[in-house]
Amino acid sequence: MKIYSTLTRTKEEFLPLKEGEVSMYVCGVTPYMDAHVGHAMSYITFDVIRRYLEYKGYRVKYIQNVTDIDDKIIDRALSQKIPARELADKFFNSFTEDMACLNIRPADAFPRATLEIPKMIEMITSLIQKGHAYAAKSGSVYFRVRSMPDYGKLSGRNLEDMMAGARIEPGDEKEHPMDFVMWKAAKPGEPSWPSPWGEGRPGWHMECSAMALGYLGESVDIHGGGQDLIFPHHENEIAQSECATGVKPFVRYWLHNGLLKLGEEKMSKSLGNLVTIKDALKFYSSDAIRLFVISSYYRNPLTYSLDALDASQKGAERLSKAAHIESNGQFPLELDLGSVEDSFVAAMDDDFDTPKAVATLFDLARQINTGRDSGLDISRAQQLLLKLGSVLGLTLAEPDTGSAEAGPFIELLLDIRKSLRQEKQFGLADEIRNRLASMGVVIEDKPEGASWHLKR
């Protein structure tokens, strides 16, 4: 299996530190508003990677942090006149719901920044002792970038280049403009925690270093996040972690997903051009959203559009139907299921080439449908389709019949319509079908009788 690592900018053979086990850390959210489809893209990507690694037989330990204290949370909590903690809880719960709706499996742990402060203080203290950090007179502590010769290796930058375009804050207390804060001195009224340098709160990059090291050890196999985190966030995590432990590499494989665009721009909270996951789920199924994401290669940018989502919705329905159509054939479909699975694996082994893997699923679906039409037993092929679908996190659930309440009434109408059709009263039969369709109930007449499901 080959995985592209941002650090080396090449596809590398994947070899975890411990045989059979993979430690995986993915940067989580800052919960101060509802998550958007860009977040969905990132977490679907890493969910698929996790599922595939488990499919390959690895035991995966998956950690995702929660940045439950930062400027945005403080600002927003202040304007809503609620404690920062309450705001963060509210939107973290919302995030958890969204992830569940998208069939994204929860991490093994969701450590929160505010509960990991002792670990961070310990790490910062050690960095100061080693000369990699210093406390300024405000009580903030900064990382000394010049103390690390290979600072910039992840993002391919060097200090001189960065200085050219750097925004230098006037009256900065930092030794070097690129030094970054690990511990922020508290301003009056802000939530704060005691530290050897006075009341304050952790800097953003510090929590991920402390948690990755604390939960997964000094060398993590996979660390993931969006490409927008490469610099400065992940660069600074490397700096803190490698300087604190002396162990290199902090991360063996750095994975970054491409960013989701809305129109010509990146979808982001700060630009405000976003579609929340909750809104997307009003119109599209979890499988449709997932299929939209995995139909494109994870390192490439992807543009959110209704056309693309509509296409994915149709595609997802096609796969679900193939996975569940009934056949009472006696003779099994002659299809080399092993080679189908091999194609799937070959695609996924090549740096998680999900678009190609998805193509094998559609090919399999066609084989299943053809086999059914020929009166063959397709159950084993259907099992394979469901199995490979689940590796990609697709439920391929049977068409939705919604809450059961309307069910008996729809069945009643179908019975009446059946009689009408038998009596060649097609005008009335069609009217029932059309009226139900306008209410979102799709009827399909089949040789064995009519079936119905809700249109998404």
Binding residues for RNA restricted to 320-339, rule: CB under 7 A: 321-322
Return d(Cα 207, Cα 234) in angstroms, integer: 11
In the complex with RNA, which residue's Cβ is closer, 89 or 445? 445
Place of tokens 């097609």: 426
Which range, of 99-107, 369-377, 382-390, 403-411, touches RNA by CB under 7 A?
369-377
Which range, of 100-108, 130-138, 305-313, 378-386, touches RNA by CB under 7 A?
305-313
Q: Is 67 in the site for RNA (CB under 7 A)?
A: yes
- In the bound complex, what is the minimum distance in angstroms from residue 5's beta carbon to RNA? 12
Instruction: Report the alpha-carbon angle 85-87-90, nearest 5.
Output: 105
Q: Is 39 in the site for RNA (CB under 7 A)?
A: yes
Q: Is 162 in the site for RNA (CB under 7 A)?
A: yes
Which range, of 38-46, 52-60, 138-146, 213-221, touches RNA by CB under 7 A?
38-46
Q: Is 381 in the site for RNA (CB under 7 A)?
A: no
Q: Is 436 in the site for RNA (CB under 7 A)?
A: no
- In the bound complex, what is the minimum distance in angstroms from residue 70's beta carbon to RNA? 7
Place of tokens 């056949």: 327
393 neighbors 290 (Cβ within 8 angstroms): yes
| Tokens describing residue 123 | 């790490």
Judged by CB under 7 A, the residue of 92, 151, 197, 204 near RNA is: 204
User: How far apart, in Å, are the Cα atoms of 324 and each of 201, 398, 399?
Assistant: 53, 7, 9
Residue 301 backbone phi and psi in degrees, to 5: -70, 155
Judged by CB under 7 A, the residue of 48, 113, 335, 365 near RNA is: 365
Which range, of 12-20, 214-222, 357-365, 376-384, touches RNA by CB under 7 A?
357-365
Counting every residue, how long is the chain?
Answer: 456
Instruction: Report the alpha-carbon angle 109-113-115, nearest 5.
Output: 80
Place of tokens 């995995």: 294
Contact positions with RNA (CB under 7 A) in 219-238: 225-233
In the complex with RNA, which residue's Cβ is closer, 56 or 76? 76
Can you say whether the dihedral through the CA atoms of 183, 185, 188, 194 is positive or negative? positive
User: How far apart, in Å, are the Cα atoms of 214 and each of 33, 69, 241, 243?
Assistant: 28, 19, 11, 15
What is the CB neighbour count within 10 angstroms for residue 111? Answer: 22
Contact positions with RNA (CB under 7 A) in 6-25: 9
Judged by CB under 7 A, the residue of 90, 153, 278, 318 near RNA is: 318
In the complex with RNA, which residue's Cβ is closer, 23 or 354? 354
Residue 310: alpha-carbon gap to chain centroid: 20
Return d(Cα 375, Cα 214) in angstroms, integer: 57
What is the CB neighbour count within 10 angstroms for residue 71? Answer: 13
142 neighbors 174 (Cβ within 8 angstroms): yes
Grouping H, G, I as helix, E, B as strand and the rest as coil, residue 193 is strand
Contact positions with RNA (CB under 7 A) in 178-197: none
E strands present in 27-159: 59-64, 133-135, 141-143
What is the CB neighbour count within 10 angstroms for residue 191? Answer: 15
371 neighbors 329 (Cβ within 8 angstroms): yes
- In the bound complex, what is the minimum distance in angstroms from residue 270's beta carbon to RNA? 3
Contact positions with RNA (CB under 7 A) in 70-99: 70, 72
In the complex with RNA, which residue's Cβ is closer, 17 or 445? 445
Judged by CB under 7 A, the residue of 13, 167, 171, 405 near RNA is: 167
Contact positions with RNA (CB under 7 A) in 255-284: 257-261, 264-270
Judged by CB under 7 A, the residue of 5, 7, 23, 38 near RNA is: 38
In the complex with RNA, which residue's Cβ is closer, 21 or 444? 444
Contacts 24+ apart (CB under 8 A), 383-386: 384/337, 384/340, 384/341, 385/319, 385/322, 385/323, 385/361, 386/323
- In the bound complex, what is the minimum distance in angstroms from residue 406's beta carbon to RNA? 19
**Count of residues in contact with RNA, rule CB under 7 A:** 88
In the complex with RNA, which residue's Cβ is closer, 245 or 295? 295
In the complex with RNA, which residue's Cβ is closer, 17 or 337? 337
- In the bound complex, what is the minimum distance in angstroms from residue 137's beta carbon to RNA? 21
In the complex with RNA, which residue's Cβ is closer, 173 or 265? 265
241 neighbors 211 (Cβ within 8 angstroms): no
Judged by CB under 7 A, the residue of 21, 75, 150, 161 near RNA is: 161
Judged by CB under 7 A, the residue of 176, 362, 416, 456 near RNA is: 362
Q: Is 350 in the site for RNA (CB under 7 A)?
A: yes
Q: Is 426 in the site for RNA (CB under 7 A)?
A: yes
Q: Is 301 in the site for RNA (CB under 7 A)?
A: yes
Bridge-partner residues for 11, per DSSP? 4
In the complex with RNA, which residue's Cβ is closer, 46 or 215? 46
